[in-house]
A and B are shown apart, each in its own frame.
Chain A
Amino acid sequence: MGILMMVQFFIPHPLSTRLYRAVLDSMIIIGVFMLVFAWRSLAYFHINRIRRRTEHWWYSYLTFTGWIVTAALGIGLGIGAGTPHQLIFNHILIPLQATMFSLLAFYIASAAFRAFKARNLEAGLLLVAAVVVMLGRVPIGQMIYSRLPEVVEWIMMYPNMAAQRGILLGVGLGMISTALKIIMGIERGYLGGGD
């Protein structure tokens, strides 16, 4: 499969594109079955919690209720605009998910206060760069020093870009070597076991 997909990339013929589409569709179909397995694992996790009466076990009933009601409404009544599925997405899923992630603002402040210490020259350089960028990327930075946004843009466009590119090149080469090792059968850890 690996060699086939590598060769396919260089063939612009419509048959090649159809093959690519077929392989990707196959990956999606296999993905659906893997998702079913994942959902089964989640269901068993909560069933075991209820059976064993672990801490806060009764909340698992809430999980199942939300799960079954949402899935039933979505599969039964459709998922387009104006459906209950869309309403649940807009007014339950979005607030919950967005708020969960917004908690990170508080935790990053607390973590920075406790752990961000200039213990050596390199850490100090990191700290200075962080402070300059934080200040320069908000309007108040421009009020303090009118050219600060330009300074920050230069830092982002040159030294930051250079290091990110170096990391990107390293990551790219690493991804290619791992992919080639998988194709050639040298890397088999994803199959589980040593054989």
Chain B
Amino acid sequence: MNISTNVWVWIASGFTLCIYSFLYGDNPFYRFAEYLFVGVSVGWAMAVVWYNSVIPKIWTPLAENNQYWVVLPCLLGVLVFSLFTKKQSWLVRWPIAFVMGASAGIAVPVDFQGYIFEQLQGSMLTVLNVSNAVAFIGVVTTLLYFYFSKEHKGVFGRFAGVGIWFIMVAFGASFGYTVMARISLLIGRMQFLLHDWLGIIE
């Protein structure tokens, strides 16, 4: 056993154990860690936003580079504060509309490219073997299952039923991977406690 003498490691271990104490039941140690976490994470984000967004995107362009167009998005941003008033709160729709419109416009060609064209191309049966046939049938029947404009009856219903099987296999696989992910997170924290703090493992 080679217990760490680094005070920061002890602080980190203390917080880790405070969070894990919640597994037995809600208690003051967990609440202490939880409330502190909220405050520290917001404070941390504030400093990051200051140095990575406010200074390079607002202060430097205006004060040093004479890029006065930045005033326009700043004005839109100020309109967000109209939410503080009841009468003028409708003004917030302008910045929201700008952001939503731009995001929607960016999304359309990008989604076509990455989600539709490439995926359709990948679905085409270029080499006929059992595995590729299974994949092709899976894609088609899954899409048929999600077509709710037609009632799932008769031949159509049977194909949609096959789609459900593929979806269940995919969800089962996703569940298995999710379990793997969650256990891995726990392994990581245990490794920190046993290696970095207590020095029991290598």
Contact = CB atoms under 8 A, between A and B. Distances in A.
A–B touch (CB < 8 A): the answer is yes
Interface of A: 1-6, 8-10, 22-37, 39, 42, 56, 59-60, 62-75, 78-79, 85, 87-106, 108, 112, 122-123, 125-134, 137-138, 154-173, 175-176, 178-180, 182-183, 190-192
Contacts of B50: 74-75
Interface in B72-123: 72-74, 76-78, 80-81, 83, 93, 95-112, 114-116, 119-120, 122-123
A22 B73 CA distance: 10
Contacts of A31: 53, 99
A167 B138 CA distance: 11
Given A26-B76, A74-B48, A191 B97 contact: yes
B135 A137 contact: no
Contacts of A2: 101-102, 104-105, 108
Contacts of A85: 44, 47
B51 A35 contact: no
B169 A125 contact: yes
Contacts of B63: none
Contact of A175 (B81, B115, B172): B115
B186 A164 contact: no
A29 B74 contact: yes
B127 to A, nearest CB: 13
A129 B172 contact: yes
B22 interface: yes
The B interface, classified by DSSP as helix, strand, loop or mixed, is: helix
A103 B36 contact: no
Contacts of B140: 166
Contact of A4 (B105, B145, B146): B105
Contacts of B96: 190-191
Contact of B182 (A78, A104, A132): A104
B86 to A, nearest CB: 13
Interface residues of B, number: 111
A34 B174 CA distance: 35
B170 interface: yes
Query: Which 4 residue pairs of A and B lie closest in terms of their CB atoms, listed nearest first?
Result: A74-B47, A162-B138, A129-B172, A166-B142
A78 B51 contact: yes
Contacts of B139: 162-163, 165-166, 169
A8 B20 CA distance: 50
11 contacts: A2-B101, A2-B102, A2-B108, A4-B105, A27-B73, A63-B36, A66-B39, A88-B44, A98-B185, A102-B185, A105-B185
B42 A39 contact: yes
A178 B107 CA distance: 10
Contacts of B70: 25, 29
Given A39-B46, A75-B46, A85-B47, A137 B180 contact: yes
A160 to B, nearest CB: 4
Interface in B163-183: 163-180, 182-183
A126 B168 CA distance: 5
B132 to A, nearest CB: 8
A134 B183 CA distance: 11
